[in-house]
Structure 1
Amino acid sequence: MTVGMFLYSDLLFGQLKNDTTYFERFPEMVTGRFYLSRKYTGLNIKDRLGETPLLRYRPNSTLNMGVGASYNVFTLNLALGFGFLNPEIGKGDTKYLDAQVHAYPDKWAIDGFLQIYNGYHLASEGQFAPASQAYYYRQDIKVREVGASVKYVFNGEKFSYKAAFLQTEWQKKSAGTFLVGAEIYGGLAKGDSSFIPKKAMLDPSRDFNKLFFMEFGPNIGYAYTLVIAKHYFIMGAASGNLGLGFTNQYGLEKSTNWSVNANYLLKASTGYNSKRWAVNANYVFSNVRLAKNNDFNNSLLTGNYRLNIIYRFIPGPKGKKILNTINPYRYF
């Protein structure tokens, strides 16, 4: 079961007075949503010496179906990976907790990641797989990652992240904005034995079965929403990060390397928006490169894609009374 619940912090940052000709807020309306979503965190292992092909470890995460609602600064989402959406496909089980927060207080974009994954298969399917199964599956491989990205949104009076991703606002005119901030990431990936399938490695002395990393640094980016005929939109955002960090690589010996790595965070959304109804598809993708060790370039890739069907409505007197009891604005 996937549960999402957060209070995006307009209370801490203050609510900005927006240009209503560019986007509209709906503070008195409940934004209800039905959605499908999938999250994943993968590990890429690239051998710069060419002894080993590119290894792409991927989890068998579930496609989730759920419902949610937003009112004022409060959002709650509930979802389940129902069996009919996830037929057994023989890749091997992945047990995981993937908590992602994508919050958009006025003038800010905040992304938080907590990934705990156990069990991976190797893509493309069938590569290095034994004759008894269709997939090279490693129950012992574990990935842990925690990170955050915070960016200042320069044109928050005209550009709305919430319209594209939270559906609590409506972008009526095209607008863009520069983004500046910072990011930090850390975590590990490990297995009971080498990450490299034996028949893929020519030099066993380069084997490794554990990576530990940490990096941080500034980022800069740009986001833009193209609005067509007031209701249809295409939104894209990209930010690059120069992260100073280190990676410990464990094999026959431990090796440590420090470097500056170029990472990136991408977001996209497209769909239809109006005062009552909205439908959109959105995608968030993060690539964190690790400092190379023994001529391996490794990276962690995190993604989240979602399809939303939205309906907004004004709650009745009883509903509004209940909602106002959890409205934190009443305390200020």
Structure 2
Amino acid sequence: MKLFLFLLSFLLFFLPSSAQDGLSKNDTNYYYRYPHKLVIGPLLSKKNTVFAIDPKNQAGPLRYSTNTPTKLGISVGYDWLSVSASVGLGTLDPDYKKEKGKTKSINFQWAVNGQSVLADLHFQINKGLYLRDQPDPSFGSGPYYVRPDIQTQIFGVTLRKILNSRRFSIKPPFVYDTWQQRSAGSFMVGGEFIYGSARGDSAFVPAGVSGNFPDAGINKLHYIMFGPTLAYAHSFVLKNHFFVTLVASANGDAAQTTEQTTSSDKKTRWYFTPNLSMRGALGYNTSNWELAASVISNRFFIGANEKDIHYQQYSDQFRLAYIRRIHAGKTIPTVMNWGRKIIETMGFGFLID
């Protein structure tokens, strides 16, 4: 925990001191901002989180996935704050089936899409997974192999400074308060710190296929990862309104994994690993409304003590939104300006500009 606080403080203090150029006024020949408009509209969203065990032989990976339905909700934003609320569609989602078990989740992922900063804050706890892509497994008692005992966690932060924030904005596909009218892109630099874990009451690998997996008795692991981040983003704009935005982010992390077997034997290993984060979106944008479909994918590659196997934890989030930009009245601007002053006084204004 002390290491986490030290690295988080380093990233937070590094970025504001080096991001002042990004806080200069944007070039309106490239994009317009509407921070004083209320952005509101319906959305559809779907998220899956996966914990995978992948041997190097021909056995193929085991992918334990959450069982969560597509959600219908509403997105509301003004200036620096954007929130959404939604309800699950249940069996209206063909991918969601009760036979896959029940997933209990605490999922707080805050994406900071500022003028000069792109940040991901991770806080995920998922309990109750099923084996994806293997319906009616021979070693299961039902149509799906369900593990209500497996729990996964991811905590951490990834921060990136946008170097060309005067001409490129990350906001249009994800925050909806900006209109990018001309094609532009930007490199980004930063860093990340991630802590994650997985545990089950019994071994992750089912007994029926344990012969295909080295160290098949593992039922607990935790890991830490930290290192620099390099990213590039580009928005391709056609006739001012149609857009396609692509973002690729790579991290070169130092990492440590500790594994424990059902007999309480522990092994620890240090290593280097790449991690990937990707975003993509397409849509149509105007001064008064926007239609956008987007996907955000974060992938963490976790080394094992047995070099013939590795783990992955990753999440994919899909969203379709129709947003209107309307007059905000008097109360909302007053409250949000008050909140902005508090954030700026605390020294975190660079995250919301």
Q: Same fold (TM over 0.5)?
A: yes
Inter-partner Cα distance in structure 1 for 2:34 and 2:214: 61
Is the CA contact (8 Å cut-off) linking 2:67 and 2:97 kept in structure 1? Answer: no
Summarize the Cα distance change of 1:53–1:321 in structure 2 as closer, same or farther, 3 Å threshold: closer
Task: Give the CA deviation at 1:129.
Answer: 5.0
After superposition, residues 1-332 of structure 1 pair within 5 angstroms as 15-48=23-56, 50=57, 52-83=59-90, 85-86=92-93, 88-126=97-135, 128-130=137-139, 132-202=141-211, 206-251=216-261, 252=263, 253-295=265-307, 296-315=309-328, 319-328=329-338, 329=340
Equivalent residues of 1:22, 1:171 under 8 A apart: yes
- Counterpart residue type for residue 52 of structure 2: N
Q: Which residue of structure 2 lines up, in the alignment, with residue 3 of structure 1?
A: none
Give runs of ≥4 in structure 1 deviating > 6 Å.
11-14
1:5 maps to what in 2? none
Structure 2 match to 1:8: none
Structure 1, unpaired ranges of 5+: 1-10
Alignment check: 8 A CA contact 1:151 1:181 kept: yes
Which has the higher mean CA deviation after the structures are superposed, 292-301 or 87-96?
Answer: 87-96
CA distance 1:54–1:330, change in 2 (3 Å): closer
Deviations 1:11-54 (A, max 9, x none): 99775310001000113311112111122221110112x27431
Aligned-pair CA distance for 1:177 = 0.3
Alpha-carbon distance, 1:73 to partner: 1.6
Aligned equivalent of 1:7 = none
Mapped partners of 1:74, 1:131: distance in 2: 46
TM (normalized to structure 2)?
0.85
The total of aligned residue pairs comes to: 318
Is the strand fraction higher in 1 or 2? 1
SS in structure 2 at match of 1:326:
helix
Task: State whether residues 187 and 233 of structure 2, in contact with CA within 8 Å, keep that contact through their aligned partners in structure 1.
Answer: yes
Instruction: Report what 2:4 is aligned to.
Output: none
Higher helix share: 2
Change (3 A) 1:133 1:313: same
The CA RMSD measured in Å over matched residues stands at 2.1
Task: Please report how far the alpha carbon of residue 127 of structure 1 lies from its aligned counterpart in structure 2 after TM superposition.
Answer: 5.4
* Conservation of the 8 A alpha-carbon contact between 2:276 and 2:300: yes
- State the distance in 2 between where 1:330 and 1:256 align: 46
Secondary structure at the aligned position of 1:200 is classed as helix
CA pair 254-322 structure 1, distance change in 2 beyond 3 A: closer
Output the CA distance in 2 between the equivalents of 1:22 and 1:129.
57
Q: Give 3-state SS (helix, strand or coil) of 2:74's partner.
A: strand
**Counterpart of 1:311 in structure 2: which amino acid?**
R
SS for the counterpart of 2:27 is coil
- 1:127/1:207 Cα in 2 relative to 1: closer, same or farther (>3 Å)? farther
Letter in 1 for 2:317: N
* Equivalent residues of 2:52, 2:62 under 8 A apart: yes
Q: For residues 214 and 304 of structure 2, what CA distance do their matches in structure 1 show?
A: 18
Q: Distance in 2 between matches of 1:32 and 1:230?
A: 22
TM-score by length of 1: 0.90
Shift in Å, 1:259: 0.3
Amino acid in the other structure paired with 1:27: P
User: What does the per-residue CA deviation read over 1:143-171, in whole Å, with 9 as the maximum and x for residues that have no partner?
Assistant: 01112110010000010111121011000
Deviations 1:59-97 (A, max 9, x none): 101211111211122222111114364464421111111
Report if the CA contact (8 A) 2:290-2:324 is conserved: yes
Q: What CA distance in whole angstroms lies between the structure 2 residues aligned with 1:289 and 1:70?
A: 34
Q: Do the aligned partners of residues 106 and 131 (structure 1) sit closer, same or farther apart at CA in structure 2, a change above 3 Å counting?
A: closer
Instruction: Say whether the 8 Å CA contact 1:151–1:180 is kept in structure 2.
Output: yes
SS at match of 1:142: strand
Distance 1:84 1:204, change over 3 A: closer
- Cα displacement (A) at 1:291: 2.1
Contact 2:91–2:97 (Cα < 8 Å) also in 1: no
